[in-house]
Structure 1
Amino acid sequence: MSRNRKAGTVTILPNLHIIDIAEEGKGVGKADELVVFVDKAVPGDVVDVRLMKKKKNFAEAVIEVLHTASEFRTDPFCQHFGTCGGCKWQHMQYDAQLQFKYKNVEAALQRLAKIDTSMMEPILGSAENKYYRNKLEYTFSNKRWLDKEDMGDQEDLELNALGFHVPGRFDKILDIQHCYLQAEPSNSIRNQVRAYALRTGISFYDLRNHEGSLRNLIIRTSSTGEVMVAVIFAYVEQQQIDGLMEYLKGNFPDITSLQYIVNQKKNDTIFDQDVVTYAGRDYIFEEMDGLKFKIGIKSFYQTNSLQAHELYKITRDFAGFTGDELVYDLYTGAGTIANFVARGVKQVVGIEYVPTAIEDAKFNSNLNGINNTLFYAGDMKDILTTAFIAEHGKPDVVITDPPRAGMHTDVVERLLELEAEKIVYVSCNAATQARDLALLKEKYEVTRIKPVDMFPHTQHVENVVLLNLIKS
């Protein structure tokens, strides 16, 4: 590699070859023993980079000159790319994204769990890689992120914004004009809500000082064509609330569920807040595999509806049900997987931490005429006890789909005690999944692995693993 050169206090590394891609969409290069993470670089690029931060063994940098563009590089399709916190792999061709997601899963399982990945199946790409999300949450702010063009013309500058957080700046919101993540009427609703608020003078929230009226906007859509809109206000001014609700009701008559929340806390969580249904139902319906699912504003449901169907089919296939199995579905959420597999087994027992999700799970079973499911709410490590297993029976198959943090060690230990014939482990974080698999290897052998891309243009990937009990 060429010698480094300094321009004043700026260090330039010339002709850096980008050999990999890491999280946050940063390309990876090596300068001697120094690992360099380069913003918006793609594997195959050859670049001069300017160091922004340097530690002992790694540095962060930005591209100064692009000498050779990678064969994987492509033009981003979104005007907000590079500033918005989402879709950070948009500058890389989708086939290449899949290739590197596969590689990242494989590396995590090999490095952290010492698993033989030779049986790993090809990654399943998403049929839709634009407008694939069924839920988005936008933030109001009176401190809009200003780019260089904005800074050049301060006269009559509008500082209110409705959009997404800028990475690393909790108080700065990028004003979104068009988002490619969710199909219409999402963009129209967001833009008209902003225009109405500006026209009528409703204040946008100050994220630092916790002042202002409008706080968040949540839009959920479904494959059935139904739409849910919820506006979160910080302070009660009923006239303002009614005005905006009536505006949405009149201008978007196809909204199935129109709701609002008044959240005066300093954090954005709404799970402990009352929801007021202004018009329509307090839920919408999603459909999958001939089943209907009730989705409320607080419900968990996979955000890529079409790909969720594929993910659950893979989960069912890995389990290889014959019709007589007792299944434990851990971290069941709204019972989507539990109800999805229930028709092909003897009974499903679902466990979930969030009580409202369990109520949704029970509702969904009743809605679909499913009478072989049982659901329990509580902390997994506290519910999955010896007494619980004695009451409900030893499962033949365990399906576990934990949050990004993976399973608590007490839960892993209980699974080892259970000795179910099969465990199907669905994960959105290959690293924590690998950590848990390393512990489960004491009694289980990994026999199938299949990554599933739920989130195009991001580094995130789901992974399904089948574990079979090792016969003594």
Structure 2
Amino acid sequence: MARNKMKNQVIEDLLVERIASEGKCLGHYDGKVVFIEKTAPGDVVDVRVRKSKSSFIEAEVINYKSYSKDRSEPFCEHFGVCGGCKWQHIDYALQKSYKQQQVIDNLSRIGKVALPEISPILGSAETRYYRNKLDFTFSNNRWLTWEEIDSGREFEKNALGFHIPKRFDKIIDIEHCYLQGGISNDVRNSLRDFALQNGITFYDLIAQTGHLRNLIIRTTSTDETMVIVQFGEDDQAVIEQVMNFLKTKFPKITSLLYIINLKKNETFHDLEVVTYAGLPYITEVMEGLQFRVGPKSFYQTNPNQAYELYKVARDFAGLSGNEVVYDLYTGTGTIANFVASQAKQVIGIEYVEAAIADAKINSEINNIKNTLFYAGDMKDMLNDEFIASHARPDVIITDPPRAGMHEDVINMLIKLVAPKIVYVSCNPATQARDLALLDSYYAVEKVQPVDMFPQTYHVENVVLLTLKK
């Protein structure tokens, strides 16, 4: 059948065979791979074709004929709509095994490098309420499910919750989110109800008007809470009304902040953050070290697993106290400060200037004297001039964004010939690509997957590379 004629065709009794990339599953039909979402290996489904290419089909489930024995009952009422926890229907033990295989597949198929035995993935002790940061969006155009539409009932048009996948203008109203504990759910629901009761307008994501625009809640393991409210209009009376409500209703908020954002997007790194009550930061503690987390700071969103991740990186580095360590993409210097006590010197480089300012503060409040931090684009900063003015590294720790490392950075790593590279990645696919580029010079000695995000398909991976003789 011609490709352009397969759209909307129904394929019956398709066996879901295994997990594929990005959390999708796959089966086979007429010699083609069929990718489908919202399924588990072992399901038998009827699907409707949405897209067909020469070698694959993308389809959506229209009927479940039978369910996999490995399915779990989703615990969230919003599962399947908000898109935040796509693997709730899969048993956690299987989630971990799929993530382990994802790492193996990427390193072997994309990287094509010689691999040692890969250590079992480090699972998260908490599979619910593990996040320390959530962003919620206000909208005057709430997403309605088909069940709600078919009911014929009237529903509140305003919403405070998450974006529907692939829809910037539609927000699902969240009643209870299992990602963040503490007072998070109470703060969100109370603020939404207060706004509705007092006629405070929710943001129109298309017209870009309205008072309440965005809500960010950050927490720490030491029970501190930061709440940031973004306002879409500079209406001081409404701002005072909202912020005073939060201050009075939730005295446990230790950092209560607001932002007036009149831009066309919700980013606020270039905007003033006003401290309404409490401190302008919260403090996380890890192994006795304090880390200040400001409204613009990056900090790993699963703090308990971040500790496990950093311990792996430190163990792979094998520091004795005499090494010079380069920490690339250092962020707020969390890893740099974490390993500093076991190194001679740690030099961190990061693109975001505000993050470097945080990194320096974190060294200062922990009385760490052997760190240096520099802000700038990695491919421009890590050059011959920089190397000439600093000690050469014995160990390089690199933790790049999902896109991986720029080729210029990889070429400089080859030029530096550090005995060890510890590569921390949130995207094993781009990590594998980079490992292939380093393969002529470095051998993969250890691999340790770490699950930072239960109920999702995302996985972190740490690789130890040693210089080939």
Q: What band does the TM-score fall into relative to the shorter chain?
A: over 0.9
> CA offset at residue 120 of structure 1?
1.1
1:422 equivalent to 2:423? Answer: no
Distance 1:155-1:44 versus aligned 2 partners, 3 A rule:
closer
Distance 1:425-1:69 versus aligned 2 partners, 3 A rule:
same
The answer to whether the 8 Å contact 1:259/1:279 transfers is: yes
What's the counterpart of residue 199 of structure 1? Answer: 197
Distance 1:9-1:102 versus aligned 2 partners, 3 A rule:
closer
1:245 to 243, 255, 279: 243
Query: Aligned with 1:171: secondary structure?
Result: coil
TM alignment of 1:25-64, pairs within 5 A: 25-64=23-62
1:321 to 319, 322, 325: 319
Distance 1:134 1:359 in 2: 21
Distance 2:346 2:313 in 1: 14
TM alignment of 1:254-293, pairs within 5 A: 254-293=252-291
Describe the superposition over 1:280-330 as per-residue Cα deviations: whole angstroms up to 9, x where unpaired: 000000000111100001100000000000000000001111110000000
Moved more, 314-323 or 33-42: 33-42
What's the counterpart of residue 19 of structure 2? Answer: 21
> CA offset at residue 412 of structure 1?
0.5
Distance 1:429-1:470 versus aligned 2 partners, 3 A rule:
same
> CA offset at residue 359 of structure 1?
0.7
Moved more, 46-55 or 227-236: 46-55
What's the counterpart of residue 149 of structure 1? Answer: 147
1:210 to 202, 208, 211: 208
TM alignment of 1:359-438, pairs within 5 A: 359-438=357-436
Distance 2:7 2:404 in 1: 43
Distance 1:269 1:93 in 2: 35
The answer to whether the 8 Å contact 1:44/1:70 transfers is: yes
Aligned residue type for 2:449: P
Moved more, 41-50 or 391-400: 41-50
> CA offset at residue 154 of structure 1?
5.2
Aligned residue type for 1:15: D
The answer to whether the 8 Å contact 1:21/1:27 transfers is: yes
Describe the superposition over 1:75-118 as per-residue Cα deviations: whole angstroms up to 9, x where unpaired: 11100000012110111001111111111111111111112234
Tell me the TM-score normalised to structure 1 length: 0.96
The runs of 5 or more residues in structure 1 that have no matched partner are none
Distance 1:129 1:447 in 2: 30
The answer to whether the 8 Å contact 2:143/2:170 transfers is: yes
1:128 to 126, 132, 140: 126
Query: Aligned with 1:170: secondary structure?
Result: coil
What's the counterpart of residue 71 of structure 1? Answer: 69
Aligned residue type for 2:175: Q
The answer to whether the 8 Å contact 2:353/2:375 transfers is: yes
Aligned residue type for 2:43: D
What's the counterpart of residue 99 of structure 1? Answer: 97
> CA offset at residue 60 of structure 1?
2.2
The answer to whether the 8 Å contact 2:141/2:171 transfers is: yes
Distance 2:314 2:226 in 1: 30
Distance 1:154-1:204 versus aligned 2 partners, 3 A rule:
farther
Q: How many residues align?
A: 465
1:111 to 109, 112, 115: 109
Tell me the TM-score normalised to structure 2 length: 0.97
> CA offset at residue 58 of structure 1?
1.9
Distance 1:174-1:24 versus aligned 2 partners, 3 A rule:
farther
What's the counterpart of residue 460 of structure 2? Answer: 462
Aligned residue type for 2:428: A
Query: Aligned with 2:81: secondary structure?
Result: coil
Distance 1:116-1:62 versus aligned 2 partners, 3 A rule:
same
Distance 1:35 1:110 in 2: 21
1:179 equivalent to 2:142? Answer: no
Distance 1:118 1:362 in 2: 37
Distance 1:400 1:391 in 2: 20
RMSD value, Cα: 1.5
Distance 1:126 1:386 in 2: 41
Distance 2:11 2:152 in 1: 36
Query: Aligned with 2:170: secondary structure?
Result: strand
Aligned residue type for 1:379: D
Describe the superposition over 1:411-460 as per-residue Cα deviations: whole angstroms up to 9, x where unpaired: 00000000000000000001111111111112111100011000001110
Aligned residue type for 2:218: R
Distance 1:89 1:156 in 2: 31
Moved more, 258-267 or 26-35: 26-35
The answer to whether the 8 Å contact 1:75/1:91 transfers is: yes
> CA offset at residue 153 of structure 1?
4.7
> CA offset at residue 9 of structure 1?
8.5
Distance 1:88-1:24 versus aligned 2 partners, 3 A rule:
farther
The answer to whether the 8 Å contact 2:310/2:335 transfers is: yes
> CA offset at residue 61 of structure 1?
2.1
